[in-house]
Amino acid sequence: MSDSRLVQADRPTVTRRSFLKVTGAGATGGALLAMLDARQAPAQLKGTSLRVILWSHFVPAYDAWIDDFAKKWGEQNGATVRIDHIPHLELPARYAAEFAAGAGHDLIYFAGQILTGQYYRHLVDLSDLANDLGTRYGPWMPSAKSAAQVAGVWYAVPDYFISIPVLWRKDLFESVGRPAPKTWDDLRVAARLLRPKGHPTGMQFSHCNDANHNWRALLYCFGAKETDASGQSIELDSKETREALRFAKALYDEGMTPEVFSWDDASDNRYLASGVASWIHDAISAFRTTEDTNPKVFKETYVLPEAAGPGGTWNVGEPNVWAIWKFSKNVPAAKEFILAVANSQKEAMGASRGYNMPFLRRRYDKPMPGLGQDAKLGTLQEQDKITAFFGHPGPMTPAAQEVLTTFIVPDMFTRVARGASIDETMKWGVGEIRRIYAKHKAT
Amino acid sequence: MGHLASGGGRSPGASLSVPVGGRAKALPWWRTPSVRRYLFGYTLLAPAVLYVGVLVGAPFLFSLYLALSDASVGAPVARFVGLENFTSALETGVFWTAVRNTLVFTVGAAVMKGFLGTTLAFLLVQPFKGRRVVRGLVVIPFTIPIAISVLGWKWMFDSQFSVLNWALSGLGLIGEYGTPDWPVWLGQPMLALASVMFVNVWRSFPFSAIVLLAGMTSVSPEIIDAAKVDGATFMQRFRKIIVPMIAPILFVGAAFDTVFTLSDLSIVYLLTNGGPDGATEILPTLAYNTGIRGGALGRGAAISLFLFPLLLPAMVLLLRTLRRRQY
């Protein structure tokens, strides 16, 4: 008896469908690579228009740069580009409205709040673009995939992340005999010594972005995990989390004032620039603000990429990614624009004064624009090695996103700082997180 | 069958033949006077019904649909889950905190607005030089875009640079910066809730005053004078004459104010975003952060629909009282 499957296997397997698939993909890939080499957009962009939405960057000079870049890119390619900048916290509402209407911007941007997992069914597959960029400038940082991929498909292209290091005052540390900080314990001791001298520290115990990132950094440095690597199992209920909460309580009691309960994202910038803070945990926009407003304090301000904890050194970044609606009226131009910005990453990073940290490893070749020439900021040139994002070590799933936007983690720290028991707080926080994950699993 | 004798060539003086014992030809039902009258009335009413149906009814039904489903921002066509979203909300502590804060916020602000609005209305109804200018100025808080005015207050409540604190400290009424006597307006739970309520009151009490003022100016001065002659005190005139006469206006104003306050997202969102640790969390901010920022549309819609049973009794009571007074 013959086995028909074996006979079939011996036959040539090229069908008309597979032939078209292979040649089509080859032609597309080839064209893209050719364009990458030539750095020139295809002719079909001429006469088209492209609407882009971006957040209002914390470094206004970057907004000016990208607007000018878009204008020039449009002129070179015969396309009209319009960029709308809106506050990052308003982006999710805008996307919900655009999605409901089935119309809006051709090229969108998830800033801090990563909605790739929510919208991926309605986003264009950008795997060709992301893979090519990975080949050219990569590899991608592993965490980049968590922001942009769903089931191995790139539905977004990572642009940059915002790093949130420790900014500390050398003169104040020296005044109490403390060396340059390396660990969270060093920071705590310094805060304890400096608060009585009128120089407390501060991290937000409130409902703002920085609170979400800062306390997560402490959690991860203590070895705590939000979920397992798959993002399916919640792992926050651990002794590491309890230790982190205990440490935060001590840090608050010894080194902070109640001001931190009211802070927004910019309060710590002002705290440093005013000369009051002994150290803060914030993006380098605070460093730049101080440079512009208080040169004396700026001269004494130094940068630590992240403080080490018993569980390692983990800096929590704020990711930013590009995406394209399937209903976009100009997908080719949107893809070309992403590519053009990625190709100009060095200029972009320079325009942001070192603020926009790349996701692509080879972009970390020293000296990095905005950082490499600066003796203090030069320490941030290896930030790719210590950066994690919310949900760590799991991916940025819709469930992780909801935990982020409902501020459960900062609220846990707030409760403990205010005197609630760690056990009660853990029970509450983990319970809330479990409820959210259970809901997302059910859908 | 009876008929009316008619004809184009009827001559003057010709008799009109009226059948005796017959019946007039019955009009079709849709042409009867009562039906035509109703039809005319409903035609006039139709635009308003259509307006309410499209702009109020449809969104309400859509949010009901969302609340009964597992819809998310990326998948609005979703599975029916019954009352699961509602029970899920009821199970969380944050929800109950939000309900409590919403009630405190609405009732507290309403009481303060009532008191301040009445006081201001009485002041503005008095004749004085520049009254028209002052009347124009008092509505400024209500007319400034809410985002701008709230950001102004955010600065005034700033933990470090609050102009209020520095002024109070300069006057010796509070301690110095960095001491425990330095209030952190948006950081201490009670103070934070009071602060967001204060901004709501600051913004809206001129509206209450203007509503009251409009009512008061419609009360005939002769009636007030007669009451004065009869020996009625200020409070008696206010309670027994002014309030009953302007009650319809007061009720409508109160209804508007309750709806606006209960659904006010902007002030809390911009000042505290519900923090610290839910101290200022209200149903609108919780619904927004869950449904839009968190992407769980179904649960967000369910949380926002809890405003409905809070509003409904208040509205029914107000409108029924208003109707009783009118008829």
Query: Over the stretch A16-58, which tens digit does the pLDDT of each residue have?
Result: 555 555 555 555 555 545 444 544 556 678 889 999 999 999 8
Q: What are the Cα distances from residue A30, in Å, to A20, A26, A129, A226, A354?
A: 15, 6, 12, 42, 34
- Is B214 contained in some domain? yes
Contact A53, A109 (CB under 8 A): yes
The pLDDT of residue B195 is above 70: yes
- A284 and A425 fall within a common domain: yes
Q: CB under 8 Å, gap of 24 or more: what pairs does B136-141 form?
A: B138/B206, B138/B209, B138/B210, B139/B206, B139/B207, B139/B210, B140/B206, B141/B202, B141/B203, B141/B206
- Chain B residue closest in CA terms to A197: B178
User: Cα separation of A286 and B187, whole Å?
Assistant: 22
Residue to test with chain A: of B184, B277, B283, most A Cβ within 10 A: B277
Looking at the structure, tell me whether residues B211 and B276 fall in a common domain: yes
Q: Are residues A148 and A211 in the same domain?
A: no
B164 and B312 inside one domain: yes
Return all residues near B86 (Cβ < 8 A) that are at least 6 apart: B67, B302, B305, B306
Do A433 and A357 belong together in one domain? no
Residue A159 and residue A217 in one domain: no
User: Is residue B12 situated within a structural domain?
Assistant: no
**A395 reaches B (C-beta below 8 A):** no
Domain end residue (candidates: A329, A348, A381): A381
Identify the bridge partners of residue A387 per DSSP, sorted by sequence position: A315
Please name the residues in contact with A393: beta carbons below 8 A apart, sequence gap of 6 or more. A225, A226, A227, A228, A229
d(CA B167, CA A80): 52
Q: What average pLDDT does the segment B302-314 reach?
A: 88
Same domain, A57 and A190: no
The CATH number assigned to the domain holding B154 equals 1.10.3720.10
pLDDT higher at A175 or B178: A175
**Cβ <8 Å between B295 and A402:** yes
What pLDDT, on the 0 to 100 scale, is given for residue B322? 75
Q: Which residues contact A102 (CB under 8 A, 6 or more apart)?
A: A327
Handedness of CA A282, A285, A291, A293 (dihedral sign): negative
Give the Cα separation of A362 and A345 in Å (integer).
11
Contact A406 B289 (CB under 8 A): yes
Inter-chain touch B272–A206, beta carbons under 8 Å: yes
Q: Give the confidence band of B31 by pLDDT, cuts at 50, 70, 90.
A: confident
Number of domains in chain B: 2
What is the average per-residue pLDDT within B97-121? 92
Q: Alpha carbon of B193 to those of A336, B95, B122, B276: distances in Å? A: 49, 16, 29, 10
Q: What is the DSSP letter of A362?
A: G
Nearest CA in chain A to B299: A439
Residues B124 and B266 in one domain: yes
Same domain, residue pair B301 and B256: yes
Token output for A263: 């802070």
Residues 6 or more apart in contact with residue B57 via CB below 8 angstroms = none
- Domain membership of residue A103 (yes or no) is yes
In this structure, the answer to whether residues B298 and B228 fall within a common structural domain is yes
Residue reference for tokens 């703002």: A208
Same-domain pairing of B220 and B186: yes
**Between β-strands A279-281 and A166-169, what pairing exists: parallel, antiparallel or unpaired?**
antiparallel
From B184's Cα to the closest Cα of chain A, the distance in A is: 6
Residue A73 lies in a domain: yes
At residue B15, φ and ψ (nearest 5 deg) are -80, 150
Nearest residue to B288 (alpha-carbon basis) of A434, A327, A113: A113
Distance between CA atoms of residues B245 and B214, nearest Å: 12
Question: CATH code at A331?
Answer: 3.40.190.10
Where is pLDDT greater, at B3 or A208?
A208
- Specify the pLDDT at position A190: 98
Preferred mutation among A89, A262, A280, A425 to probe B, highest tally of B CBs within 10 A: A262
Q: What's the confidence (pLDDT) of residue A346?
A: 94
Kindly give, in sequence order, each residue whose CB lies less than 8 Å from that of residue B78, ignoring residues fewer than 6 positions away: A443, B69, B70, B71, B72, B298
**Residue B77: strand pairing partners:** none
Q: How confident is the model at residue B248 (pLDDT cuts 50, 70, 90)?
A: confident
Q: Does A121 touch chain B (CB under 8 A)?
A: yes
> What is the predicted pLDDT for the residue at A255?
96
SS3 content of chain B, % helix, strand, coil (to 5): 70, 0, 30
Give me the pLDDT at residue B93, please.
87
What is the reported pLDDT for A17?
56
With respect to residue A220, please indicate whether it lies within any of the assigned structural domains.
yes
Distance of CA A245 to the CA centre of its chain: 24
Are residues B153 and B284 part of one domain?
yes
Suggest the residue from A207, A260, A390, A401 to mutate for an interface test with chain B (most B CBs closer than 10 A): A207
Verify cis geometry, omega within 30 degrees of 0, for the bond prior to A139: yes
Query: Does residue A192 form part of some domain?
Result: yes
Residue B196 to chain A, least CA–CA distance (Å): 12
pLDDT of residue A317: 94
Q: What confidence score (pLDDT) does residue B283 get? A: 94
Which chain A residue's Cα is nearest to B69? A443
Side-chain half-sphere CA neighbours of B210 within 13 A: 17
Q: A386 in a domain, yes or no?
A: no
d(CA A206, CA A348): 32
Whether residue B62 is found in the same domain as residue B96: no
Taking the C-alpha atoms of residue A380 and residue A285, their distance in angstroms, rounded to an integer, is 14
Residues A107, A45: Cα–Cα separation, whole Å: 15
Q: Do A118 and A186 lie in a common domain? A: no
pLDDT digits (tens, 9 = 90+) for A373-428: 999 999 999 999 999 999 999 989 989 999 999 999 999 999 999 999 999 999 99
Query: How do residues B129-142 score in pLDDT, each as one tens digit?
Result: 988 898 888 888 88
Enclosing domain of residue B63: 31-67
Distance from CA of B280 to the nearest CA of A (A): 10
Q: Which amino acid does the sequence have at B136?
A: G
Question: Does residue A329 sit in the same domain as residue A309?
Answer: no
Give the residue numbers spanning the domain of A348.
Answer: 44-163+318-381
Q: Which residues of A touch B266 (CB under 8 A)?
A: none
Is A397 within a domain?
Answer: no
B40 in the same domain as B142: no
Q: Which of A91, A261, A327 to mutate to test the interface with B (most CBs of B within 10 A)?
A: A261
Q: What average pLDDT does the segment B116-137 reach?
A: 88
pLDDT of amino acid A11? 43
Could you report the predicted ipTM of this complex, rounded to two decimals? 0.80
Cβ count within 10 A of residue A235: 16
DSSP per-residue codes, A92-153:
HHHHHHHHHHT-S-SBEEEESS--HHHHGGGB---HHHHHHHHHHH-PBPHHHHHHHEETTE
| In chain A, residues 159-188 whose CB comes closer than 8 Å to chain B | none
Say yes or no: A288 and A196 in one domain.
yes
Query: What separation, in Å, do the N-terminal and C-terminal C-alpha atoms of chain A show?
Result: 49
The answer on A214 and A107 residing in a single domain is no
In a domain, A36, yes or no: no
Please report whether residue B25 resides in a domain: no
Contacts with B, A 128-157, CB within 8 Å:
none
A298 lies in the same domain as A328: no
The verdict on B60 and B172 lying in the same domain is no
Residue B79 resides in a domain: no
Query: Does A443 sit within 8 Å of B293, measured CB to CB?
Result: no
DSSP string, A325-360: BTT-S-HHHHHHHHHHHHHTHHHHHHHTTT-EE-SB
Whether B41 and B96 map to the same domain: the answer is: no
β-strand partners of A51: A82
Residues of B in CB contact (< 8 Å) with A are 70, 72-76, 78-79, 88, 91-94, 154, 157-161, 178, 180, 184-188, 192, 272-278, 288-290, 292-297, 299
| Total tally of structural domains belonging to chain A | 2
Question: Do both B61 and B180 map to the same domain?
Answer: no
Cβ distance A398 to B72 under 8 Å?
yes
Domain annotation covers residue B211: yes
A126 plus A184 within the same structural domain: no
Residue matched to tokens 């020139």: A40
A405, B289: Cβ pair inside 8 Å? yes
Decide if B185 is inside a domain: yes
- Evaluate if residue B269 carries a pLDDT over 50: yes
Domain presence at residue B86: no
Can you spell out the DSSP letters for B84-142?
HHHHHHHT-HHHHHHHHHHHHHHHHHHHHHHHHHHHHHHHHHS--TTHHHHHHHHTHHH
Residue B80 domain-assigned (yes or no) = no
Question: Which residues in chain A land under pLDDT 50?
Answer: 1-13, 32, 34-36, 38-39
Residue in B closest to A417 by C-alpha: B277
Crossing angle of the two packed helices A209-221 and A408-417, in degrees rounded to 10: 80
- pLDDT bin (cut points 50, 70, 90) of residue B320 is confident
A210 and A274 fall within a common domain: yes
A289 touches chain B (CB under 8 A): no
What's the pLDDT score for residue A16?
A: 55
Running DSSP on this structure, what letter comes out for residue A167? E
HSE toward the beta carbon, residue A366, CA cutoff 13 A: 13
Structural domain contains residue A26: no
Query: Around Cβ B139, how many Cβ atoms within 10 Å?
Result: 13
